[in-house]
Amino acid sequence: MELKITTCYCLCDDFLISKGWRDDPQCTMSTAEVMTAALTAAAFFSGSYE
């Protein structure tokens, strides 16, 4: 499961880099991390974000 989550993060981060996305300097969590959390919840925890 950890390998899948890490792979998901890398794919999200690479996708955002390819699209030229830049996070706000004040954010504490990157957009790739937010996307990974949402996809992980959907894939492994039946959509439960808690």
- Residue-wise pLDDT tens digits, 13-24: 999 999 999 999
How high is the pLDDT of residue 29?
Answer: 96
Mean pLDDT rounded to a whole number for the chain: 94
How high is the pLDDT of residue 48?
Answer: 79
Mean pLDDT of 27-44: 95
Residue 50 has pLDDT above 80, yes or no: no
Domain boundaries defined on the chain: 1-45
Residue 49 has pLDDT above 80, yes or no: no
The widest CA-to-CA distance across the chain, in whole angstroms, is 32
Spatial distance between the Cα atoms of 30 and 42, rounded to a whole number of angstroms: 19
CA dihedral 11, 17, 23, 25 (to 10 degrees): 120
pTM: 0.86
